[in-house]
Amino acid sequence: MASINNNRNAYKLANTPLGLHRRLRVVCLGAGYSGLMMAIAVREKFSAADLELQVYEKNADLGGTWLVNSFTPEPHWSRYYATAEEIHAYMSKTSRKYGCEEYIKYNHGIKKAVWNDGEAKWHITVNSGNVDFTDVCDVFINAGGVLSNWKWPNIPGIELFKGKLLHSADWDQTYDFRDKRVALIGIGSSGVQIMPELGKTAKSVTMFARSPTWISPSGIGEPGPSDPEIDADYNYHPKELVRFKNDSQYLLEHRKALQVNRIAGFTQFIMDTPSQIEAIAGCERAMREILSKTEKGRAALSKLIPDFPVGCRRLTPGLGFLDSFSKDNAYLEWQNLAEITPTGILTNDGRLLEFDAICCATGFDNSFKPQFPIIGRDGIDLAEKWEKENAEAYFGITVAGMPNYFTTTVWTGSCTSWYKQGTKDGKITAVYSGSTYHFLKALKDPRWEDYNFTYLQASGDNRFHYLGNGLTLGEAKGRGDMGITQTLNFEDYWNLFNSPVLFE
């Protein structure tokens, strides 16, 4: 049996009602999708709470790598697969609609975060221009995401190249690829999508790849016969755009169908299930059908089809990708890159291929290590901690030894994937092992018993300090009619205890 502290001096009565929350200051890093949602939630649902939010964004505008879902209807998407420009425009419009700009400071980068155990607060060093300053907060949320710190590939001679050097995550929109000889390095999601686009204007496109990958030629969540009409390039028909704008119910039903279709596809990523077996067969059948049409295609086919299951690596909507290898201006160099020279690429078999531009679709630093020092309890440096051991966070959002620090960010099989920090058989750290709804339900009612709680100094040793002076917050503020406790039937009585008006 646990002992009870009978020291009356340790028990201080708080002359506050039950339910009165302490003032909290929250600092959020990043004005991408997660940071934007945080600002909307605070403005729409916590306006009456004693909560102060500050979002710091290092760039001059809001961003985010991907906008997975839209929570407010948008009738102006022109394509089934939205472009980056449309996604950014949607985010900007949404930010203005909900007044999020008041919470966001642009061109403000966080350089360091240190936890002060005595104050139970984070001290955040922020840089703006040539000025550094310190922000002190109760809660620090890192919404920077893992796909934000892009890197050049570690290829000998890359710094020597005299032509145009581009990275998929830092694309130069002004560069003209017309009649250019282009090398494309990487066969991940970005490379698969860039290849067919370059082929439309470049004189030649040579992809340098070293690993096979499953391609979903028809896209992910392919539209069916009951979906809105689209053309061969997946643009919505103009009449559909008009109907989206004028018929909100029609747009809503389309959004529902998109979500159901995507979530239903999750089962294909569960090992050895009928859904996965069917997905493998479907992808292989489609890949063979497209690539078997020409000799160049058949040569690519022998290299591209993997021996690992669908979903081991990120599945990409490869619209036009496979068809590229049957075109006269497209080439595939398989595991054949030795070094980069001032004028091009030297292959492993001794050929010097000259290029006007080299595009690196080689991804991001996926080690999950913070890009700046985050120092938690007992001086633990999170970057050093995750350098020595696998990156690990409880449900992907909280980290041991990092009080009041949250992040917003699993597939087996023998393949090299950023899901496993670029390893072939390492621990999966990038994605959750269940469906979206599974994750939401798991987090809806947290297992607080999995956390260690430390009382603030103001409460002393009194674990009942929160009970306050015997009144609820609603009573103290005279909010609501306490007569509502008198009901006429069981249903009203039952619903009464789910009503926040009575207690808060």
pLDDT digits (tens, 9 = 90+) for 397-412: 888 899 998 876 433 4
Same domain, 187 and 139: no
DSSP designation for 423: B
Same domain, 118 and 190: no
Same domain, 328 and 372: no
Give the predicted TM-score (pTM) of the model: 0.76
3-state helix, strand, coil in the chain (%, to 5): 30, 20, 50
Nearest-angstrom CA–CA distance, 474 and 471: 8
Q: State the total domains in the chain.
A: 2
Q: Which of 450, 475, 495 is the last residue of a domain?
A: 450
- Name 216's Cβ contacts closer than 8 Å, sequence gap at least 6: 283, 286, 315, 316, 317, 318
pLDDT of residue 109: 94
Q: In what order do the strands lie in the sheet with 339-340?
A: 339-340, 344-346, 352-354
pLDDT of residue 22: 85
CATH number at residue 328: 3.50.50.60
Nearest-angstrom CA–CA distance, 277 and 27: 45
CA angle 205, 207, 209 (to 5 degrees): 180
Q: Does 336 score more than 60 pLDDT? A: yes
Where is average pLDDT lowest: 20-24, 321-325, 351-355? 20-24
Domain assignment present for 472: no
pLDDT of residue 334: 95
Which stretches within 98-174 are classed as H helix?
A: none
Decide which of 210 and 73 is more confident.
210
pLDDT of residue 446: 84
Residues 164 and 175 sit within 8 Å (Cβ to Cβ): yes
Q: Annotate 282-312 with DSSP letters as a single string.
A: HHHHHHHHHHTTSHHHHHHHHHHS-SS-TTS
Same domain, 116 and 64: yes
CA angle 87, 92, 98 (to 5 degrees): 125
Q: Does 93 score more than 80 pLDDT? A: yes
Where is average pLDDT lowest: 170-184, 216-230, 354-368, 456-470? 216-230
Q: Annotate 77-115 with DSSP letters as a single string.
A: --BSS--HHHHHHHHHHHHHHTTGGGGEEES-EEEEEEE
Nearest-angstrom CA–CA distance, 236 and 238: 6
Range of the domain at 95: 11-148+367-450
